[in-house]
Structure 1
Amino acid sequence: MADPTRRKPPLQVIREGNPGKRPVPEGVRLPPADLVEPDWTDTFAEVTGAQGPVNARCRTVASREWRRVVPVLEFTAGIGTVDTSTLTDYCICIARIDQCEREISTNGILMLGERGWQKNGATTIVGQYRTQLARYIGELGLSPSARGRLTPPEDSGDDDDDVFD
């Protein structure tokens, strides 16, 4: 049963209608937009390291994640052009986590340094990226619990008053 004390998110109120005629903040009314995937070479420059092109895989991972989540978010969250930077950062975060995990898999969690065995620096970095990823997942509604807070819009059959038309 739904919690009667919990307010519906403003976007959900807009999608489902507002039978109580309570005011909805104007700032949440965003027209849907066709989001254009960023040029990942701006973020992940062409750099060659000891193991080949360092950022080529990051560009691939970020692009694949963009193409995976944007269609879903356009349908479920009604994202707009203003959300491009959040989505871009989310994809960068995914790519960097992949990069750190590959570094840890290649060189191990512990590395032999000047003063003996020490923690691979990628373990600290990946932890910070995972913390940020958790925030993005909550903001964008990409986890089951975040999706549970939204209910899908009901099809009333009357599309004349639809904000997104």
Structure 2
Amino acid sequence: MRGTKPHMVTDPEAVGVLPAPGWFTDFARAEWDRVMPILTERRILTDADLGSLENYCIAVATVRAMEAHLQEHGHVLIDVEGKMKRNPAVGVQSDAMTRARLLAAELGLTPVSRSRPAIREEDPDDGDNPLDVS
């Protein structure tokens, strides 16, 4: 990538480090504890983003829980007729991986999302509004 890396725009209403919700699983709490300091240091996480952060942590926790299940029971099961069948945990894990990846990008937790230019508020008095037809 050429040029300088764009600077992230901080939010004056950014939240500080908050404890993980009490109802989280151990996997979800571990992910919250890992990423919350990163996001608060960047000063970009607001109250409006906490739902996305919760969902991200739940998705990561689901990936880890399904991996533990798959390691114990395998990716393939034998049905009552003796035929091999894909373990349903494979699909659950795959869906959770997709959700986690999308939410991580929204929260700026992936290398690609951190390299994109930050959205900056335009000065309403700049006089260059292309939609102003007056």
Q: TM-score, normalised by structure 1?
A: 0.61
Say if 2:131 is the partner of 1:148. no
**What is residue 106 of structure 2 aligned with on the other side?**
139
In the TM superposition, residue 120 of structure 1 has moved relative to its aligned partner by 0.3
Counterpart amino acid of residue 146 in structure 1: S
Identity within the alignment, %: 25
**Alignment: residue pair count:** 114
Match of 1:122 among 89, 92, 97: 89
Indicate the residue corresponding to 2:51 in structure 1. 85
1:94 has 2:60 as partner: yes
- Work out the CA distance in 2 between the residues paired with 1:77 and 1:148: 17
2:62 pairs with 1:106: no
Partner of 1:18: none
| Structure 1 CA distance for aligned equivalents of residues 85 and 103 of structure 2 | 31
The aligned counterpart of 1:24 is none
Q: How does 1:1-165 map to 2 (within 5 A)?
A: 1-2=2-3, 12=9, 15=10, 31-34=13-16, 35-40=18-23, 59-115=25-81, 116-149=83-116
Moved over 6 A (4+): none
Counterpart residue type for residue 79 of structure 1: L
**How far apart are the structure 2 equivalents of 1:100 and 1:69?**
21
TM-score (norm. length: structure 2): 0.74
Conserved in 2, the CA contact under 8 Å of 1:40 and 1:63? no
Q: Runs of 5+ in structure 1 lacking a partner? A: 16-28, 42-58, 152-165
